[in-house]
Amino acid sequence: MSRVCELTGKKAMVGNNVSHALNRTKRKFDANLIKKRFYIPEEDKWVTLKISTSALKNINKLGISAVLKKAVDNGFYKK
């Protein structure tokens, strides 16, 4: 499975390593992802998601149901 947040769509970015001599080589900035289980009381089931830590902060603030609804509306999460 690719390293993409299932709720926000965040994924790896590409950039450069820059040395003191200003030599540039390609590198990858991976998203800060974690695997976490959540209980959804409306559906009475547990769901395991691979999410970014910023998405986890949104879940703590807004609740899992609201964040899942927004992710489905944006097309990132499929039921």
Q: What are phi and psi of 15, to 5 degrees?
A: -150, -160
Reported for 23-28, long-range contacts at CB under 8 A and 24+ positions apart, including other chains, are: none
Verdict on whether the full-model pTM lies above 0.95: no
43: closest CA among 71, 64, 19? 64
Each residue's pLDDT, cut to its tens digit, for the chain (79 residues) gives 589 999 999 999 999 999 999 999 999 999 999 999 999 999 999 999 999 999 999 999 999 999 999 999 999 988 6
Strand, helix or coil for residue 59: helix
Distance, CA of 75 to CA of 22 (rounded, Å): 40
Task: Output the six-digit token pair for 58.
Answer: 């949104």
